[in-house]
Amino acid sequence: MNSDPLAAFRLDDKVAIVTGASAGLGARFARVLDAAGARVVVSARRADRLQRLARELGHAHAVACDLAVDGAPAALVAATLAHYGRVDILVNNAGLSDPTPALDESTDQFDATLRVNLVAPFELARECAHAMIAAGGGVIVNVSSIWGMVGVGQIPEAGYAASKGGLINLTRELGAQWARRGVRVNCLAPGWFRSEMTEGRMFGDERAERWMRQRTPMGRGGAEHELDGALLFLASDASTFMTGQVVCVDGGWTSV
């Protein structure tokens, strides 16, 4: 038994894919995994930002891709295997948001949101699971949202809510299917955090921020670092007896 109580949180020599890593929470997730010892494959559409992040981290590998394109998820996993020979951790973080009242939301909009937020994470999870099972195991962390747990209504995003709710139950199903094959699948559900997606909508708009503060039991949005512990817990051996679960980091939003 290791005498170091923090050893289970280390990711030394593990290979991790982080999607949506060009900015915001995805870039933070990549930094957290890198700091824990992982070799990180950062992926998003914006190649220039990925390259800057990879240089900052020092030994990360950047793979630019658009997950909405057919075959892109499989190509990302193939590129990871070609570069590192394995994949131990997948963080399904990339997401699309397009606030539109449901009465005006086109089927194309709805489909496009589900393609990026639900279909691509499934394809990535499936492709990674093949490699993980062959290697003896692995970890998948899906990044959902409070929209996957409850309705919000006042911010109209039917496609986003459906995709994030679907991602949560996909987590449960894949966790159950792959539990005896060494692949754990869990879900991180953040509340209100500042990001490119929320900037100008929830943050930087006094009316929106006041609404958020009034409805969040802790009375504020989350700080970027407040997801670090939950991510590292789910991605590491600290959570080896946990699969198919959702961890909400939301200031109490879904508790009331």
Catalytically active residues are 160
For residue 138 the two structure tokens come to 């692995």
Question: CA 138, 237, 147 angle in degrees (round to 5)?
Answer: 75
Longest dimension (CA), the chain: 58
What angle, 0 to 180 degrees and rounded to 10, lies between the N-to-C axes of helices 107-114 and 158-178?
Answer: 30
- For residue 204, the SS3 value is coil
CA distance 7 to 17: 21
CA distance 141 to 144: 9
For residue 229 the two structure tokens come to 């512990």
- For residue 245, the SS3 value is coil
Burial of 235 (0-12, 13-18, 19+ CB in 10 A): buried
- For residue 20, the SS3 value is coil
CA distance 108 to 166: 18
What angle, 0 to 180 degrees and rounded to 10, lies between the N-to-C axes of helices 72-84 and 120-135?
Answer: 30
Helices (H), 58-185: 72-84, 107-114, 120-135, 158-178
